[in-house]
Structure 1
Amino acid sequence: MAVTDEAILKIKKMIIDGRLRPGDRLPPEKELSESLGLSRSSLREAVKALEIIRVLDVRRGDGTFVTSLDPGLLLEAMSFVVDLHEDASVLELFAVRRILEPAAAAMATGRATDADIERLGAMVDSVDGGTSIDSLVDHDVSFHHGIAELAGNHYLTSLLDNLSGGTLRARIWRGLTQENVLERTLAEHRAIVDALALGDAELVRARAAVHIAGVEDWLRRAAS
């Protein structure tokens, strides 16, 4: 395990143990590095990585603080960063989603009723600028499940649900770190619903592929 990843795990354990809570200020660098048995350089790298994913808030001249985000989200994001460096299999999950979900969306096009399309549109409309990251992820999961169900193939729906479950931490990390992720997600979901309303299966397939590929591309660049 990389020294930086070890440092991240040790800070994560402090949060799990309750020694650090959202809003708390981290001890001085020298004190923290000694208590964790880490070099100051590796601790600095860990703090820098955790600042990028918004687990820590570095305030120049004031100190470093644990963010006020939900503790569950903080821990998921920290685990994902470490796991991604050790195992990039989540990229393979997104590659499979990119193959299967556009096909499922195209299958759903001929089966979706006006009521189905209205329901999907209402799901998109229910999310606004004040939506939390965990609520956005819940919306994303429900939206994709709703389209998969409309394909009318229970095995395909179950497979896609399983694939979706394996990408939850990646979605949380994206929500924490990517600029304008809420607006981008909603715009792409709305574009898929609009294509469904037109009854154009190939357009639906294309827009679903662009949506999944965009997330996959972001993750691939973030992991490099």
Structure 2
Amino acid sequence: MLNKTLVPQSVAREIQAMIRNGTLKAGEKIPSQRGFSQTLGVSRASLREALLTLETLGLLKTEAGRGTFVATAAANGTTSASGHMAPWRYSDSYSVFDVFQTRILLEGEIARLSAGRLTQLQLDRMETATQTMEECWARQDLLSNVEADLAFHGTIVSACSNAMLKALYQTVRDQVTETQRQPIPITDPERMRHSIAEHRRIIAALRNNDAAAARQEMEAHIRNTARCAGLSP
């Protein structure tokens, strides 16, 4: 049985496939959560989380008083560089600006402390994740693109020498994850190419055990992602 974290992810993947293969068409309204959850064989809570994820990625769009619909660009299998970001889910606790600013401080230091500690297997996993990001973006598998991005960053965190920083990262992981999804609907192919190149520069710094460069490259990467979202932290 899938755990509570993986169930919404699995549901989101199934719905994304329905959008891509035309089962759910452009502009079509998503069925009621009660009926749809029964069709998919999952709880309404898992379905809601999956729908929120797909909305953040720009595959769905919620209209007040009307419901949730398949986004036109998503159904056509094209990028939505002129699209709009979904509302920030965590506005009651932290602004998206705050989260990006925290990521720069936290992940920059984590990258610095991870230099010299990553195994060859971990470095190879990061290379594979970056390649997967590139391939999934090319075929517009947005869920897998972001999952590979999360795996890349998570591998660096796993090698950090400071247990408290690792724990702090886990406490804000949901918000961090959302900032990795949030800019996708307005990310053009050129920005994605730059992001992938930034990943490879981070890997190179870590392979060279260059702590200062790892921190600098990570901070630059997160700042550039924030700029893509229209922010300058």
Give the TM bin, normalised by the shorter chain. Answer: 0.5 to 0.7
How far has the Cα of 1:124 moved from its partner?
Answer: 1.5
Who is 1:108 aligned against? 114
Counterpart among 120, 124, 127 of residue 126 in structure 2:
120
Bigger share in helix: 1
Q: Secondary structure at the match of 1:23?
A: coil
The 3 A distance-change label for structure 1 pair 114 and 172 is closer
Q: 1:136, 1:182 within 8 Å by CA — same for their partners in 2?
A: no
Q: 1:97, 1:212 within 8 Å by CA — same for their partners in 2?
A: yes
For 2:195 and 2:85, locate their aligned partners in 1 and report how far apart those are by CA, in whole Å: 23
TM-score by length of 1: 0.60
> What's the C-alpha RMSD, in Å, of the aligned pairs?
3.4
- Is residue 2:162 matched to residue 1:153? yes
- Is residue 2:147 matched to residue 1:138? yes
For 1:82 and 1:106, locate their aligned partners in 2 and report how far apart those are by CA, in whole Å: 29
For 1:197 and 1:170, locate their aligned partners in 2 and report how far apart those are by CA, in whole Å: 26
Who is 1:37 aligned against? none
TM superposition outliers: structure 1 runs of 4+ over 6 Å: 84-88
- Is residue 2:218 matched to residue 1:215? no
Q: Based on CA coordinates, which of the two structures has the bigger radius of gyration?
A: 1
The 3 A distance-change label for structure 1 pair 23 and 219 is closer
Counterpart among 45, 49, 69 of residue 74 in structure 2:
69
Counterpart among 91, 97, 104 of residue 91 in structure 1:
97
Amino acid at match of 2:229: L
Aligned-residue identity in percent:
20
Amino acid at match of 1:207: E
TM-score by length of 2: 0.58
Q: 2:111, 2:218 within 8 Å by CA — same for their partners in 1?
A: yes
In structure 2, the gaps of 5 or more residues are 1-23, 30-54, 62-69, 76-82
Can you list the C-alpha shifts for 1:169-224, whole angstroms capped at 9, x where unaligned? 343231111212432222111110011111111111110010011122333449xx
